[in-house]
Amino acid sequence: MVEAKNMCMRYNKCGDNALEDISFFIDRGEFVFFVGSSGAGKSTLLKLVIRELRPTEGELKVFGRDVGRLPRHRLPYLRRNIGMVFQDFRLIEERTAYDNVAFAMMVTGATRSEIRKRVPHVLGLVGLQDKAGARICDLSGGEQQRAGLARAIANRPAMIIADEPTGNLDPGTTLDIMNLLRSINLRGTTVLVATHNRDIVDRFKKRVLYLENGRLVGDEQKGIYTHVH
């Protein structure tokens, strides 16, 4: 699903590497946490997976394709198979929850009848069936993140990437969102989560990749946040 080989990422020629000599393999259907302090390289790594950035050196394959060499016209295909969940939600605030999910489907070419059938279904999956007509700006932070999740899964992506998805949420809501991600994963979707949240990582006992100063310093199945060298 995602394979990195000796991958480096440098933002400028004389600067330090944001990522240095990273190698790992993530299989279809895995749930993986990327952990590390701020600036460790977690967000950079996720941006490389969705090809917002290209590796400076080495190789990164997503769905078996080298994303560094992927031509621009193939990017929509790549991104259509990846659902993104952000810390700051990135929803259209003046539109309804229904509209936000419908829009995500529309831009990938879904038909009106597909949208009418699918949107209520995914809003139901995240517990927002009663809020379909509510504007995003009138929803709580937790409800907004649920809408973000509904949007991310609307096109049945093979993979969900969540960058600090619970960074702005209280502990109870955080647990709800993580349980939703786990249930999405149990249906077969690969889930990658970058997080600072020690409690969540320790509680969920999933695979953990530890980043430190742009290097991969640990990779543990059923890991916990604290990594001892």
The predicted-structure confidence for 112-163, as pLDDT tens digits, reads as follows 999 999 999 999 999 999 999 999 999 999 999 999 999 999 999 999 999 9
Record the tokens describing residue 69, joined without a space: 């060499």
For residue 64, report the phi and psi dihedrals to the nearest 5 degrees.
85, -5
User: Mean pLDDT score of the chain, rounded to an integer?
Assistant: 92
d(CA 174, CA 21) in angstroms, rounded, equals 32
pLDDT band, very low/low/confident/very high, at 167 (cuts 50, 70, 90): confident
Mean pLDDT of the 94-107 span: 95
The predicted-structure confidence for 12-71, as pLDDT tens digits, reads as follows 766 667 999 999 999 999 999 999 988 889 999 999 999 999 999 999 999 999 999 999
pLDDT attached to residue 96: 97
CA distances from 220 to 46, 208, 210, 227 (A): 19, 5, 9, 9
The count of other CB atoms within 10 Å of the CB of residue 141 is 13
SS3 label, residue 200: helix
Cβ(133)–Cβ(165) below 8 Å: no
SS3 label, residue 133: coil
Cβ(157)–Cβ(80) below 8 Å: yes
